[in-house]
Structure 1
């Protein structure tokens, strides 16, 4: 119940989050959706994708005009028609794919119907007959709620395969008009009625059990009829509305109350109408949006506005839809949208819907003017300005979804905003300050539509020091500061248009580096300057003095690098200083105010995804967002943990730009890079919470080709022989959001001591495995670290070499006996051939035969005794040390296969040694045996089911007991037991002199650093050696191992067994002496 509750909550959380995100994205802009493309260069058999389907295991099946493809996220396996192979698919032109309720995968082709046979990866071709002729050209398939398979043919009507008789295909004859129809679409609605769409005869509605049917056709005399007779798609949405896609008449919605159709058609004058009137597929996604596949891209229907947003191919955009002719559309179990076109397969990941992307699209006028973004600024009305490097100034008004270019000019004809801009700033008067790469700074007043230009003027010492502007800042006093890359800092005079210059100075309190990248004013009113090559400078604007904070090679806590790219102060007063090549620095306010050059560093070793930082900001929750050359990352300053969002991989060609980062007044973060703008709300980011299914995709042996009687997805065990020296297993985590980021873990129980973290590698390889039975366990994750709930569990049997098998040893024994008999008889014949000794030989042979028989009986009896002795001590009737060794080994193995944190109690392994006697061997053995039997009887009288006693040696006994109390209680119990054994021994030996009973024990499993090191044999070896040391060197009665304090290795273990000093053990273990 708890598991179900957790899963339900997880799915609900994902749905609500995703719904909100997708709705926002949908309302904003769908035209710039970025798609991942899969085509022939990735292994697809052909580019025209006519059908897409995901089977029950999670494999994606893709039907093209030249073969069937199965995709697992990494590999594409192609199935083609082979004229020489009757088990291959019957034709390469794949028209439709569907899986029925029984799990059968059906494929409709231009050469008939095929059923996929998973165990052999082959196909069963089913014959369809009509009027004694084979029906081969099939258009569509549909599996209804009863498990029946419906088959639409090209010119031969409708056929079906009954679930109760899945071998015979029958023709549907209840509707005469369908006799020779070209059936293109089949659908069962929520009431169990069958809808059949044809290529030229319109739409049919067939109710089960009814003799009549309804026939809908287009009519020029009525606008309420079907818009076109060529039907390609039928769908019922979540509200019960029936949608019909036509090839030429657009989209229809059926109103059952009025028996009329509402038409949605394309209009050249309306960009919010259907994209094209030729509709091929209709999909309702999990958020109840209708996706319409047309001859002009995809149209997504907004039912509230009754508007369509168009998703099209743009030749200028590599990430746009690969082609405008969309033939198929599908949503998989992970909520990803797959779109099949005439030029390959497209995948859109809705988990990235929280990141809205704006790019320059040549085919759309209301898009960015250039994709290289260098800066942002926001005015008081929420308008966001964008500085591009090559496209001038763009702006996005609050509530709008498209950018526009701002083209303004000043009084003079040369006062035109440069196309190559570097930075933006909105001052207290709502004026926009614009920095350019070569024409200085511009000031634009939107209220007065006025533009002014500040630039370097030869002969004017109060003009701007250089025309290459890197940053513009207005301080708390309203003063304007302009930085340059080659000519230092400019401070605008309060009166007039002149500037005071801060240039390179050799003075101790001067500016020693003029290559300024960014400026910031802190909460104390100081101006901070980030320089390239000179580190960080603090300017006291009242005294005009600078303080430099730079990297000190001899101080590891100093600023990590001198190429400072960005500086930011958060709400807690902490400084975040980004560098090029040396990561991010965190400066606590106490150290900063005291002028201490000590920073906390974040590098790629500590979780940062790139060594170059391009921007830093803080969201409303206190998280620090860092843009780098590898995307954008969120840092939790309390835990110092990063969460990476690698937009760079797909959107910005692996780089975001320096200074191109803004958090707007609406808490939206804007990022600029080499391929446009990415923007998101930090609290609306979607995480991929889909639990993936992990499946086995390949089992291989280097030595031979393997064959199986089941599909790999259903196989439970595999057997290899001794010649299979190298075996490998491939698996796939069937989540397609970012399959290259899916991770894998595997473990071969009986061989691997721990789970193997395999990263993104989906293969496990083993060489020269010893014979035996193993269990291969595999689990996989999605790109967000959500692991599969079900593991692959595959029994792996390794057969021994024939000459080492049990029957081989049986043969060896029988052969030896036969050889012995042969030699005896050979000797007998040799002697019998001598007539002189014939009588003697006869007697000898009789004697030898009798002796052989006696020896055989004697050996058989001894063998039975030996079998008994392997587990039982004959003198006491107790189990012996072999039994205890096996018992401890099995207990520890069971515990190690389970979670140690769930083991509530340990067990105590105890060896007891009785004192040495001076009597003869027979007498001593009798006394020791009686004493040990007395101890066993004493323990049995206590009726303790958790205690087992065995005879370990002549004067040794072994005891195994479950520890249910604390250590003090255990020590008291052992002391009492020692006194009781001493008393029993004194009675049996009739000796009253001072005797000493020695005990050594260990608590198992031995807890500590790497307790898995100690198996049963190692535990017993350690206790025996302790007992030896105790008897030789210690006056203690009881010595025990209670905990491991160091990492144990084979070398250290061997040294301890060779040691004669108890102190060596005390360095490694917690030792009890009592």
Structure 2
């Protein structure tokens, strides 16, 4: 989420400055048009039970989830939201009061819109003046000039018994279990049906805050504005805000009362006022103030919204780069850059600047020194207000530049200049140079209470400096580290280890004088470590943009274990810490490029909450869906995007998200993006869960859960699957029946072939058998005749078999080819002059393509007729005629002039019935005419087109 982070140049108000007010700064964020919030002046603020921030503006109602500003019911709320016109009840009922001319309309938020609130008479309310919910969920509302109370059962009752009818209501505010009503003359406390209790009368009361025990009131008397406190001991004026002030809103956060006037003021429990003015770009503030459930303070302005994540963390000199600091007694000493010295009264935050161009050297609590190129100064004083720097020694002539200075346990000051290492002994009037044999550049880094030899930086190495009484020294136990450059800070970790912060990272020097770069430099993040400092519990503070407390450990992968990390949650912006100081009281002070920050112990001890996670946006392809409605994807929908929001606002950089599908199984790895995208989902039901955490250990419970379904395409629906199943079953039945039919056809074909072979060949073979038997019983001449007859029968059989095979071929054949087959067979049957064979066959010009089945039956029909004529007719002539008919088909005629027969008589062996079956099989007409001594005429016409066919 983009936001703008600034630091207040907190100024006194230009109109009638507050008395005894200290200007402090606190880290804050601004939400305005630069981050998508452009709804004009903020009039009202509220937070619902889920955690959404609701903003009433000049242009309507807006919901904020930490990332998105969503206009709510823009087509219904055409009027601006009235000042302080948002209230949330015990049942998460959000009421919105809008203002149009003199009308005060009241609306209730629904799932995705608003609806009018009905009043005591059952009609929409349009005359509301003020409203508030008490702790029990009862709604108190001023309608016109009357006060009403609506209980949680939606029953209305008049309230305010005992209040004078002449007083006009100006506002309502819940205070503990009671309700406080402000009129134009007094302040009253109300409790259910009991008579009103007078709190304070006299003056004009603008705002009220507090609880059952203490009430805070802003009271105007003439042009003076005062803050009053009312408790069991009575009413008492606490502080005057000056003249011509108007209190727009007040709220209590802990023991601090936050007051909104033209700026923002904090009245602390000790009576101190802290003025938090905003700069000219966002004045005037507009008014409403809200403390959310995480403790952040939200302030409405004329152009947007301001959030203070932790206003109890103070900041001084936000535009200065401040270096080291120390705490001595009631004073915090600060070394500025350029060389200036600042003093802060720790308890009050009062700041004093020393007019002294020098570097501080402090050994708390007694030794406070400052060194310039010409003088050494000592602080002579005991408290913040009493004391001053006095010169105590002169620097050597020619001193050009003081790099740094240190103070040892004896009070001696060690000064590192551009050329020399100097030492000023207690009581001496001039520092003396310390000459180190064989060294050019020497700087004392740190004084070790376990070794008389200070740790020093000697020509790029870390050494122990052995100083002799005659002010010369030798470098001992020197060690050089890989990449070690410019040591900035030294801290003892335990009896065996010392940590050194250098430009190259954090190094550890052990008791064996071995120096190594700690692995944790790679994983700490936030840039290089700039310094170390002791923590009150014996651990170490690392400063690397933000303060981190660590515990050294030999068995840790990084060399340390992080035990505390401060961030914007604690009121510290990023890159704010180069040096850290933890006081005995537990407050943490940091300094860096944005001045000095003080994080109170109470702020440090606040536990990170467990954020609530909700679904705020669902989008199918380019279509936005209602996140609260059932979600169903059609077969043609390609992509689904779900966006969740973690309703935590204090430090969103800490937020991490994890997800899982199905509500079971392992969670995903933590991620920063709360959006999930799905594409090409299979049909079915899905459940997605999203959880959030601020510390990586405690996650949203329960997580946000979204259930949705993907509809199958029509061909994957139940009814389609049933139809497909039935169709498949029908197809299988059809295939089975076709297969059976095919098998039956094959079997029928085999049967027909067998019959044809029997008809065509069986008789011939029988004749051959009988002739062969007869030949065995006759003489040679008769045998010769019989053998010739056997050869003739065999030839006929061979010819008939070839004709049969031809008729079964699947290739194309026409009427002419059929005629050739019949003619060939006829010639073999009638080779002699008598009976004389006459052939009248179809010509190619009359070609007709014939199906295989027709060819076969017609050929066998003709062979049967010819065989009958050959065997039985004793004819003198045989005529075979095959010709195409006019229009369609053909006719086959076989005529002989033999002895004839009576067709009506069932004569065995004449084949008449066989010919009739074949004609019927191909749909042909069969005609036969014969009589004794009159010959026989057989006619086959295909297809049969006679009327009786």
TM-score, normalising length: structure 1: 0.57
- Match in the other structure for 2:64: 71
Matches within 5 A, 1:480-629: 480-484=413-417, 486-491=418-423, 497=430, 499-500=432-433, 502=435, 510-511=438-439, 513=441, 518-521=445-448, 523-530=450-457, 534-542=460-468, 544-546=473-475, 558-580=481-503, 582-589=504-511, 591-592=512-513, 597-605=514-522, 607-628=523-544
Is the counterpart of residue 284 in structure 1 residue 287 in structure 2? no
Report the 3-state secondary structure (helix = DSSP H, G, I; strand = E; otherwise coil) of the residue aligned with 2:430.
Answer: coil
The answer to whether the 8 A contact 1:560-1:601 is kept is no
Alpha-carbon distance in 2 for matches of 1:384, 1:310 = 19
| Structure 1 range deviating more: 741-750 or 467-476 | 467-476
Alpha-carbon offset, residue 536 of structure 1: 2.7
The answer to whether the 8 A contact 2:93-2:108 is kept is yes
- Match in the other structure for 2:97: 108
Q: Residue deviations 1:27-72, cap 9 Å, x none?
A: 9978434333333333333453332211111111122223322122
Alpha-carbon offset, residue 171 of structure 1: 8.5
Matches within 5 A, 1:744-893: 744-749=657-662, 754-782=666-694, 786-816=698-728
**1:794–1:568: structure 2 CA closer, same or farther, 3 Å change rule?**
same
The answer to whether the 8 A contact 1:187-1:235 is kept is yes
Alpha-carbon distance in 2 for matches of 1:117, 1:803 = 43
Report the 3-state secondary structure (helix = DSSP H, G, I; strand = E; otherwise coil) of the residue aligned with 1:334.
Answer: coil
Alpha-carbon distance in 2 for matches of 1:423, 1:559 = 31
Alpha-carbon offset, residue 586 of structure 1: 1.6
Residue number among 353, 359, 372 corresponding to 1:405 in the alignment:
353
Alpha-carbon distance in 2 for matches of 1:71, 1:39 = 12
- Match in the other structure for 1:124: 115
- Match in the other structure for 1:725: 638
**1:787–1:37: structure 2 CA closer, same or farther, 3 Å change rule?**
same
- Match in the other structure for 2:549: 634
The answer to whether the 8 A contact 1:483-1:490 is kept is yes
Q: Residue deviations 1:506-551, cap 9 Å, x none?
A: xxx733656x5945456222232347x9243433324733358565
Alpha-carbon offset, residue 122 of structure 1: 1.5
The answer to whether the 8 A contact 1:609-1:644 is kept is no
Matches within 5 A, 1:643-1042: 643-646=564-567, 651=572, 654-657=575-578, 660-662=579-581, 670-679=589-598, 685-702=604-621, 704-707=623-626, 712=628, 718-749=631-662, 754-782=666-694, 786-816=698-728
Is the counterpart of residue 359 in structure 1 residue 278 in structure 2? no
- Match in the other structure for 1:905: none
Alpha-carbon distance in 1 for matches of 2:550, 2:175 = 50
Report the 3-state secondary structure (helix = DSSP H, G, I; strand = E; otherwise coil) of the residue aligned with 2:515.
Answer: coil
Alpha-carbon distance in 2 for matches of 1:136, 1:519 = 74
- The runs of 5 or more residues in structure 1 that have no matched partner are 1-26, 217-224, 269-274, 362-369, 408-416, 459-463, 504-508, 552-557, 828-839, 841-1074
Report the 3-state secondary structure (helix = DSSP H, G, I; strand = E; otherwise coil) of the residue aligned with 1:35.
Answer: strand
Alpha-carbon offset, residue 641 of structure 1: 1.0
Alpha-carbon distance in 2 for matches of 1:763, 1:191 = 41
Alpha-carbon offset, residue 276 of structure 1: 7.4
The answer to whether the 8 A contact 1:67-1:94 is kept is no
The answer to whether the 8 A contact 1:745-1:755 is kept is yes
**1:129–1:823: structure 2 CA closer, same or farther, 3 Å change rule?**
same
Report the 3-state secondary structure (helix = DSSP H, G, I; strand = E; otherwise coil) of the residue aligned with 2:307.
Answer: strand
CA RMSD of the aligned region, Å? 4.5
- Match in the other structure for 1:142: 132
- The runs of 5 or more residues in structure 2 that have no matched partner are 1-19, 382-387, 740-751, 753-949
Residue number among 178, 184, 191 corresponding to 2:170 in the alignment:
184
Matches within 5 A, 1:183-582: 183-187=169-173, 195-198=180-183, 200=184, 202-203=186-187, 226-229=201-204, 231-239=205-213, 241-246=214-219, 250-253=226-229, 262-264=236-238, 266=240, 268=242, 278-285=246-253, 287-300=254-267, 302=269, 307-313=271-277, 315=279, 323=283, 325=285, 327-342=287-302, 344-350=304-310, 353=312, 356-360=313-317, 371-377=320-326, 383-390=331-338, 392-396=340-344, 401-407=349-355, 417-418=356-357, 421-426=358-363, 430=366, 432-436=368-372, 439=373, 442-446=376-380, 450-452=390-392, 454-455=394-395, 457-458=397-398, 464=399, 467-475=400-408, 480-484=413-417, 486-491=418-423, 497=430, 499-500=432-433, 502=435, 510-511=438-439, 513=441, 518-521=445-448, 523-530=450-457, 534-542=460-468, 544-546=473-475, 558-580=481-503, 582=504
- Match in the other structure for 2:41: 48
Report the 3-state secondary structure (helix = DSSP H, G, I; strand = E; otherwise coil) of the residue aligned with 1:692.
Answer: coil
**1:474–1:214: structure 2 CA closer, same or farther, 3 Å change rule?**
closer
Q: Residue deviations 1:379-433, cap 9 Å, x none?
A: 5x564432222472223457554232234xxxxxxxxx31xx44423599x5533
The answer to whether the 8 A contact 1:74-1:739 is kept is no
The answer to whether the 8 A contact 1:440-1:469 is kept is no
Alpha-carbon offset, residue 680 of structure 1: 5.3
**1:548–1:737: structure 2 CA closer, same or farther, 3 Å change rule?**
same
Alpha-carbon distance in 1 for matches of 2:540, 2:197 = 63
Which has the greater radius of gyration?
2
Report the 3-state secondary structure (helix = DSSP H, G, I; strand = E; otherwise coil) of the residue aligned with 1:613.
Answer: coil
Alpha-carbon distance in 1 for matches of 2:536, 2:635 = 64
Q: Residue deviations 1:880-924, cap 9 Å, x none?
A: xxxxxxxxxxxxxxxxxxxxxxxxxxxxxxxxxxxxxxxxxxxxx
Alpha-carbon offset, residue 279 of structure 1: 2.9
The answer to whether the 8 A contact 1:583-1:611 is kept is no
Alpha-carbon distance in 2 for matches of 1:292, 1:331 = 12
Alpha-carbon distance in 1 for matches of 2:600, 2:89 = 42
**1:172–1:562: structure 2 CA closer, same or farther, 3 Å change rule?**
closer
**1:123–1:679: structure 2 CA closer, same or farther, 3 Å change rule?**
closer
Alpha-carbon offset, residue 817 of structure 1: 5.8
The answer to whether the 8 A contact 1:577-1:586 is kept is yes
Higher strand share: 2
**1:576–1:203: structure 2 CA closer, same or farther, 3 Å change rule?**
closer
The answer to whether the 8 A contact 2:263-2:276 is kept is yes
**1:399–1:757: structure 2 CA closer, same or farther, 3 Å change rule?**
same
Alpha-carbon distance in 2 for matches of 1:335, 1:818 = 72
**1:693–1:493: structure 2 CA closer, same or farther, 3 Å change rule?**
closer
Alpha-carbon distance in 1 for matches of 2:62, 2:460 = 58
**1:173–1:561: structure 2 CA closer, same or farther, 3 Å change rule?**
closer
Report the 3-state secondary structure (helix = DSSP H, G, I; strand = E; otherwise coil) of the residue aligned with 2:44.
Answer: strand
Report the 3-state secondary structure (helix = DSSP H, G, I; strand = E; otherwise coil) of the residue aligned with 2:63.
Answer: strand
**1:182–1:785: structure 2 CA closer, same or farther, 3 Å change rule?**
farther
Alpha-carbon distance in 1 for matches of 2:159, 2:272 = 38
Alpha-carbon distance in 1 for matches of 2:331, 2:146 = 60
